[in-house]
Amino acid sequence: MRSETRQEIPFVEAEKENFWLYYYLGKASQETGLLEEAISCYQKALTHKGNVVEILNSIGECYINLGDHKQALRVLQKSLEINPNQEKIKRII
């Protein structure tokens, strides 16, 4: 009987893979109009990487397109706290 060995992925590498998986699922969902699913995927990506301006902005855009301006404002303000040099986001707010 032959035993098969399973290659383990180091924890840090698995976390990176999870981040990119959720990031791209979020992008794909957003592009196809599945905005609530996109928000969920983006939020999962943030749990693996912390607050990433690009992802926060994408979440804000999803909320705007869903008509939830209160949530969009909250997320976009957080994005501006991290990087205040975002003229586009300032105009949106």
Q: Residues 56-82: what's their mean pLDDT?
A: 98
pLDDT in tens, 39-60: 999 999 999 889 999 999 999 9
The Cα–Cα gap between 27 and 30 comes to 5
- 12/63 Cα distance (integer angstroms): 31
* Contact in structure between 56 and 78 (CB atoms under 8 Å): yes
Share of the chain above pLDDT 90, in %: 77
Domains, the chain, with CATH or none: 11-92 (1.25.40.10)
* pLDDT confidence of residue 7: 58
Distances in whole angstroms, Cα of residue 71 to Cα of each of 1, 13, 64:
58, 32, 8
Q: What is the pTM of this model?
A: 0.83
| 22 compared with 10, residue with greater pLDDT | 22
pLDDT of residue 15: 61
Write out pLDDT tens, residues 29-38. 999 999 999 9
On whether the CB atoms of residues 81 and 89 are closer than 8 A, the answer is no
